[in-house]
Amino acid sequence: MEINNPKVSVIIPTYNRSHLLERAINSVLNQTYTDYELIVVDDASTDVTLDVLPTKHPSIQFVTLLKNRGAAGARNEGINIARGSFVAFLDSDDEWLPNYLATQMQYIESNSNIVMAFCGCIHQMQDGKIEKFSCKPWLPYPNLTYHLLAENFILTTSIVVLKIAALNKVGYFNENLKIGEDKELFLRLLCLGDVVHVPHYLVRKYSHGNNITRDNQLWVKETFNLLDIFFAHELSKPYKHFEREARSHNAMRLARILWREKRQFLFSLQIFIKAFLIYPKYISQYMWKKIAKIST
């Protein structure tokens, strides 16, 4: 690990994950790419997160926040002290495959206009099942900004590498958001420069009982809050005409997940009604397409 003049700053935000953090740290230390610094930001944990690790890993920069600021605040603190030209984030409950940084850097440095690279991930479920997500966009929209406004295809900050210069132009994570702060930042970055999809599964993401997105009410609320924030930003001007469709599509996506995956049937129905009220014409067309597909 090169620390004198690193090209990449790796930031791991953590909060009360002493039992998981070392796995994430080791996945960084085992990278084949070595031109990086590693910054671990403890978001005012109340467990024994940093009792042993700083002594065990003296080459890592450990930062402790005096007040809990959430994942966005912890990442922002890491960015503020980062020395690299690129920044990569790793959630403390995830891990990278050994060739993660080498592969991501190969793609993001392939063109000077690229501000972000993102790859596929392997999702380890609580029941032991494994799902692979390529995270490749699939909707027929003119560009990735439209697609990200409608669907959340960049599943986690653990799969992205960003250019620091681009972050300095669009701003950092919005600390008012508890969920979706990453997507809101990615939307701003997409409006600034090119983004490249890396067609490899380089991250292992874990589901567990403490994942914040298990709070369904908060998850739905913050989904619409992030759209409020983005569409209030000047970078969103070229996409104002898409706002109603984006909001309606997100409501439909939430309703679908609440019904199929979370088994929250009443809540799902409420969000479906919200989708219809936002943009009746869009939802009517959507439903007719579904009916036509089923009947053929």
**Span 173-190, pLDDT tens digits:** 999 999 999 999 999 999
Vertex 239, ends 182 and 112: CA angle to 5°? 60
Judged by DSSP in three states, 136 sits in coil
Residue 34 sits in the same domain as residue 119: yes
Round to whole Å and give the CA distance between 6 and 31: 14
Q: Label residue 195 left, alpha or beta by phi (over 0 means left) and psi (-120 to 50 means alpha).
A: beta
Residue range 124-150: mean pLDDT, rounded = 91
**Count of structural domains, the chain:** 2
Domain that holds residue 276: 233-295
Residue 182 sits in the same domain as residue 151: yes
The closest of 161, 171, 174, 219 to 191, measured between CA atoms, is 171
Q: Give pLDDT, residue 207.
A: 83
Q: Which one is predicted more confidently, 1 or 72?
A: 72
Given 142, 175, 210, the domain boundary residue is 210
Quick one: which H or E segment has residue 132? strand 130-133
* Domain presence at residue 1: no
* pLDDT > 70: percent of the chain: 94
Give the pair of three-digit tokens for residue 33.
């790419």
The closest of 124, 128, 116 to 97, measured between CA atoms, is 124
Residue 205 sits in the same domain as residue 245: no
* Domain presence at residue 222: no
Contact between 70 and 174 under an 8 Å Cβ cutoff? The reply is no
The closest of 267, 223, 213, 216 to 248, measured between CA atoms, is 223
* Domain presence at residue 227: no
Judged by DSSP in three states, 98 sits in coil
Residue 170 sits in the same domain as residue 126: yes
Residue 128 sits in the same domain as residue 269: no
Q: How confident is the model at residue 2 (pLDDT cuts 50, 70, 90)?
A: very low
Q: Give pLDDT, residue 236.
A: 96
Given 157, 175, 210, the domain boundary residue is 210
pLDDT of 209 over the 70 cut? no
pLDDT of 289 over the 80 cut? no
Instruction: State pLDDT tens for residues 238-273.
Output: 999 999 999 999 999 999 999 998 889 999 999 999
Q: Give pLDDT, residue 76.
A: 98
* Domain presence at residue 219: no
Residue 276 sits in the same domain as residue 161: no
Instruction: State pLDDT tens for residues 15-39.
Output: 999 889 999 999 999 999 999 999 9
Given 161, 179, 210, the domain boundary residue is 210
Q: How confident is the model at residue 281 (pLDDT cuts 50, 70, 90)?
A: confident
Round to whole Å and give the CA distance between 240 and 246: 10
* pLDDT > 90: percent of the chain: 81
Residue 163 sits in the same domain as residue 248: no
Round to whole Å and give the CA distance between 37 and 28: 10
Residue 180 sits in the same domain as residue 131: yes
Residue 149 sits in the same domain as residue 282: no
The domain that holds 56 is classified in CATH as 3.90.550.10
The closest of 50, 71, 52, 283 to 179, measured between CA atoms, is 71
Residue 169 sits in the same domain as residue 92: yes
Residue 32 sits in the same domain as residue 128: yes
Rounded to the nearest angstrom, the gap between the alpha carbon of residue 76 and the centroid of all alpha carbons in its chain is 14
Backbone φ, ψ for residue 113 (5° rounding): -85, -10
* Domain presence at residue 98: yes
The closest of 75, 25, 84 to 50, measured between CA atoms, is 25
Residue range 94-122: mean pLDDT, rounded = 97
Q: Give pLDDT, residue 1.
A: 53
